[in-house]
Amino acid sequence: MTQEKIAVVLFNLGGPDKAESIRPFLLNFFMDKNIIRAPLPIRALVARAIANKRTKNEAGTSYGFMGGRSPLLENTQKQADALQKYLQNTQGAKAWKCFIAMRYWHPMSDETARAVAAYNPDRIVLVPLYPQFSTTTTWSSLQQWRKAADAIGLDKPESLLCCYPTEDGFVQASAKHVRATYDAAIAAGHTPRILFSAHGLPEKVVKDGDPYQWQCEQTAAAIVRAAGLDNADWMSCYQSRVGPLKWIGPSTDEALEQAGRDKIGVIVYPHAFVSEHVETLVEIEIEYRHKADELGLPYFGRVNTVMDAPDFIAGLAKQIDLRLNGEKIAAHDNQPSICPAEFSQCCQRRGQDLVNRKHQQKAA
């Protein structure tokens, strides 16, 4: 009997692969209408201005610390390889192949869609490597994937894991990393404050109904419980602000300043990231560590992301198996929308339009 072929497409942000790629990567990023919500002519002007300015800065600083390139693709490939191996070992009745679709740099959705079409799977499962849903990440990646798949006529049963902010495997892997870093601080004679630092968003995006901030806060609380740190000092904060708009807060800079006033050490866990890249290896490890030193914090520790931790990979595999029951969008464990009603941009509420459009195209 022929094995059923399953393609698993992992969505991620992407990053420049050499110094010359920094500007086009940033231009792709800021041209995304989900990032800068302005008409195309204005968005193009703003995107070029920001990309030009940040290219000069980041070539010598953020990406300069990493040799002018991001390690995100290699790290995502490690996760894809670990997930494919786990699926083959545990669900060998099916043939599994994992693909990567980056949003703003190669391999992007058009390249990946062609590779998936060549594989000719029976079904496709889309898995964002963004645990918490946002219109600026998962939704943007899904739109780009749908456009690329439609363009080449890739028409296979397809389902999406829209979010997994409190999925057990992700939470357990995170809790182990947080607990280990916390215990190291205790062993060094410090009781630290835990800063759960997520990538920020303009406040306007959240006010428009994006559930990202709410989901990030749910993740932090779940990790604290799983790590047995219910009585610990912890807080949520947000990093990587860009541009003049008001962003959600408090910022990680503000959290560090507060820790300085409180004369307490910190450990920082980037709980909205699942792989190491510029925001973890440079912004947290180098820039925030330097700021903590300037502020006189008695201790600073960075918690590693989950990467290919066994619990995390097993958790993703479980969710993929649950997705293999028809064309649908679902949160982890096939839950109905986990977001309160005020979050109108919830993926399950918005995403049904994309599912319906695909079925309409089939009917036509």
Annotated binding site for Fe(2+): which residue ranges?
199, 279
Short-list 52, 12, 10, 59, CA closest to 30: 52
- With residues binned 3-state (H G I as helix, E B as strand, rest as coil), the percentages for the chain, rounded to 5, are 50, 15, 35
Tell me how far apart the alpha carbons of residues 221 and 166 are, in angstroms, rounded to a whole number: 9
State the helix-helix crossing angle for 40-60 and 22-31, rounded to 10 degrees. Answer: 150
Taking alpha carbons only, the member of 148, 190, 208, 171 closest to residue 343 is 208
Annotated binding site: 199, 279
Torsion, Cα 183 187 188 190, to 10 degrees, reads 60
In total, the chain counts a number of residues equal to 364
Q: How many CB atoms lie within 10 A of CB 285?
A: 16
Q: What CA–CA distance (Å, rounded) separates 55 from 29?
A: 12
Cis peptide bond prior to 250, omega within 30° of 0: yes
User: Smallest Cα–Cα separation from 16: which of 3, 32, 4, 28?
Assistant: 28
List of residues 6+ apart from 361 with CB closer than 8 A: 150, 155
Q: Coil, strand or helix: which one is 17? A: coil
